[in-house]
């Protein structure tokens, strides 16, 4: 019996030695450096032109998303680097930026640590820059407010109960209400770049359509009238950059096409 116990102890000791050895091997592994070229501009020094600044991150000690790398850079290399972030789960839309030429969310953008090429990060295009990767979205939210994105009815239940919908009517809102207003789609649209003062852009128009087809809403005619002009909707030329870049997989282009149908039949 004692020999069995002794043998078992020997096996456990050998196993522990192997595990400890592997752990030290992983610690001593060569650095897997990834280069990030990040847009920098500071409003406190307006005389200094914007520049691309390089940072190197060891991917052996970093999460797999671009936002992980940005946080690591800010925490360990350069505390002046400025960007927005919040949920880290693709829900809030705060970390929208242009990564390697595509508007997306940094928290959902995976880093290919196997590729030797660097990753280039800019703020959302054709927006005024507050600082570094922070865009000024004042105009974007002003336009969102202009479509009155809330339920409008002559009367609401006095007892506070909800207004019911059929399953079919509720299903019509799928693919619309999930928009997180990150502005990735609108800032990828050339029509919005050149006409942002008057063209509402894909994100806002998709939300307008969301309320136009809500069976509980009673302001459909007013919503149509708000769009009956040459600029609010018709600057869309179906380029569909908006649909291609949406990090939530939504289809603003289709929503705009449906609005045009509504207006044509009004």
Domain boundaries, the chain: 33-135, 137-264
* pTM of the entire predicted model: 0.86
Q: Which CATH architecture has domain 137-264?
A: Orthogonal Bundle (1.10)
Q: What is the pLDDT of residues 25-41, one digit of tens each?
A: 555 578 899 999 999 99
Structure tokens at 241: 């950059």
Q: Which CATH architecture has domain 33-135?
A: Roll (3.10)
Q: What is the pLDDT of residues 230-250, one digit of tens each?
A: 999 999 999 999 999 999 999
Structure tokens at 168: 């079919």
Contacts of 255 (CB under 8 A, 6+ apart): 176, 202, 205, 206, 209, 210
- Segment 201-208 shows an average pLDDT of 98
Q: What is the pLDDT of residues 7-28, one digit of tens each?
A: 565 666 666 655 555 554 555 5
Comparing 15-29, 39-53, 120-134, 136-150, the range with the smallest average pLDDT is 15-29
Nearest to 66 by CA among 113, 6, 131, 14: 113
The answer to whether 33-135 and 137-264 have equal CATH topology is: no
């Amino acid at each position: 019996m004692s020999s069995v116990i002794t043998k078992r102890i020997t096996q456990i000791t050998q196993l522990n030695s192997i595990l400890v050895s592997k752990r030290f091997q992983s610690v001593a592994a060569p650095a897997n450096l990834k280069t990030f070229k990040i847009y920098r501009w500071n409003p406190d020094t307006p005389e200094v032109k914007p520049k691309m600044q390089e940072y190197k991150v060891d991917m052996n000690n970093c999460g797999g998303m671009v936002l992980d790398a940005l946080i690591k850079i800010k925490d360990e290399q350069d505390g002046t680097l400025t960007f927005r972030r919040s949920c880290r789960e693709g829900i809030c839309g705060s970390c929208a930026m242009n990564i390697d030429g595509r508007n997306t969310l940094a928290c959902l953008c995976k880093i290919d640590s196997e590729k030797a090429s660097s990753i280039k990060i800019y703020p959302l295009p054709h927006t005024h820059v507050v600082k570094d990767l922070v865009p000024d979205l004042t105009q974007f939210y002003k336009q969102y407010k202009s479509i009155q994105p809330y339920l409008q009815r002559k009367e609401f239940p006095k007892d506070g109960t909800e207004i019911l919908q059929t399953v079919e009517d509720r299903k019509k809102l799928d693919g619309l209400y999930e928009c997180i207003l990150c502005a990735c789609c609108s800032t990828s649209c050339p029509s919005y770049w050149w006409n942002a003062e008057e063209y509402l852009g894909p994100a806002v128009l998709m939300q307008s359509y969301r309320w136009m087809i809500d069976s509980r809403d009673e302001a459909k005619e007013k919503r149509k009238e708000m769009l009956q002009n040459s600029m609010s909707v018709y600057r869309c030329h179906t380029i569909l950059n908006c649909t291609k870049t949406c990090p939530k997989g939504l289809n603003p282009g289709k929503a705009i096409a449906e609005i045009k149908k509504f207006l044509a039949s009004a």
